Amino acid sequence: MSSAISPKKIAQSLQELWSPRVIGEVDDVFIKVAKLHGTLAWHSHDDEDELFLVLKGHLRIELEDSCIELDEGEMFIVPKGVRHNPVAEQECQVMLIERKSTRHTGEVTTEKTRSLEEQLRPV
């Protein structure tokens, strides 16, 4: 890549909800953006941490013992092995930083689960 990109503009252009798209990579991690609305699914990533950065809107990350509320510009790292459920009451745009081995919805498969191939499609 030979020019600057705007994760916020790319996220804004996405048509599908809950369908992360890879926009870059650094060593063994992918940088992804997604547009969210509604609830994803309770899941965990046994061997990987997951970073959520809100680009626009508000995101609630439900944990088994608490909830994390994130506004634009705020981030939270879900530690490996922690069950969580992202919820966006209104449309929200996020950037995710995840190891390349991270499965979209961990051990759970739903109609919203996206394969790595789907996430790697051009934006």
Q: Model confidence over 46-92: pLDDT tens digits?
A: 999 999 999 999 999 999 999 999 999 999 999 999 999 999 999 99
Question: What HEC string does the chain produce?
Answer: CCCCCCHHHHHHHCCCECCCEEEEEECCEEEEEEEEEEECCCECCCCCCEEEEEEECEEEEEECCCEEEEECCCEEEECCCCCEEEEEEEEEEEEEEEECCCCCCCCCCCCCCCCHHHHCCCC
- Between these two residues, 96 and 107, which has the higher pLDDT value? 96
Q: Report how far residue 33's alpha carbon sits from residue 96's, in angstroms, rounded to the nearest whole number.
A: 6
Residue 102, pLDDT score: 93
Q: What is the pLDDT of residue 1?
A: 52
Average pLDDT over residues 13-36: 96
User: Per DSSP, what are the bridge partners of residue 86?
Assistant: 61
What's residue 123's pLDDT?
A: 87
Residue ranges and CATH numbers for the domains of the chain are 7-103 (2.60.120.10)
119 contact partners, CB below 8 Å, separation of at least 6:
19, 20, 21, 22, 30, 32, 104
Percent of the chain with pLDDT over 70: 99
pTM of the model: 0.93
Residue 19 confidence (pLDDT): 95
Per-residue pLDDT, 30: 97
Q: How many CB atoms lie within 10 A of CB 38?
A: 14
